[in-house]
Amino acid sequence: MPSNRLHRALIVSHKPVGRGYYRLVLKAPEAARSALPGQFVMLRVSDTLDPLLARPFGISAVISRSSLEILYRVVGKGTTMLTTAKAGQSLSLLGPLGKGFPRPEKKTVPVLVAGGSGFPPLHFLAQRAGSRTHLFLGARNKECLPPADIVRSFKELADKVHIATDDGSAGQQGTSTDILDAFLTKTERREHLVLYACGPHAMLAAVSKIAAEHAIPCYVSMEERMACGLGACMGCSVPMKAGGYKRACKEGPVFDSREIDWSEQVLLKLKR
């Protein structure tokens, strides 16, 4: 069973990988052994009370079942402070937390769709799913794509990596959902396909719509602001079609896309 214990994680390596991203490897054997693709950890970026709250990070890989890999982009004070942490130091880590992606069955062909900086959980899923995976990556332009080392790693893990950029500067011109829809339309046998997506809400809503049109199961990892990671603060609420809300940190971050009220999700996003 996943462990949500507090761990003291040793930094094995911590290096920039380009385009504002860093690769952080933490030795935390108990957490690594129980981690599942789609789960996350709450990491304190310093040993002081500044910043007061830990930060959520998706798990991008498990290395030798003893270490967790985290790929993160510098976006604010917390991640800027984290960039100064050195190998040999230790950080406080809570997790793994949340509900991950359903494990693909042997006959399943996983189709992964990543937008923005939503690729780390899908990298972990690709690591576990094997070479039959298809990955769709989308960005505004080639400079906004994941770093070259990460794309190369995806190509080593997956059967095929499909790339789209809005301006056509890399891969096909268009969005990841454009080329996803085209791929599904021309695929004759879709009964073994399952979609897994992580990225901006608008992209996830589009993937959900495409999945419904093609009658394909779809699971999405919701990127929400999290304060506690334990379900106490209700700050990461996701509106449900059946009414009410579920917490991304507790009942998610992975949900069956059919559960989510996407119209309400967009409104909720605009209010924040």
pLDDT < 70 positions in the chain: 1-4, 48-52, 227, 264-272
pLDDT for the residue 148: 94
pLDDT for the residue 16: 97
pLDDT for the residue 240: 95
State the CATH architecture for 109-271. Answer: 3-Layer(aba) Sandwich (3.40)
pLDDT for the residue 5: 83
pLDDT for the residue 167: 95
Q: Which residues contact 155 (CB under 8 A, 6 or more apart)?
A: 161
What is the model's pTM?
0.92
Measured distance CA(151)–CA(169) in Å, rounded:
16
Cβ pair 140, 167 in contact under 8 A: yes
pLDDT for the residue 266: 56
End-to-end Cα, the chain, rounded Å: 34
pLDDT for the residue 81: 93
pLDDT for the residue 271: 47
Question: Which CATH topology does 6-97 take?
Answer: Elongation Factor Tu (Ef-tu); domain 3 (2.40.30)
Any idea where the domains of the chain sit in the sequence?
A: 6-97, 109-271
pLDDT for the residue 1: 41
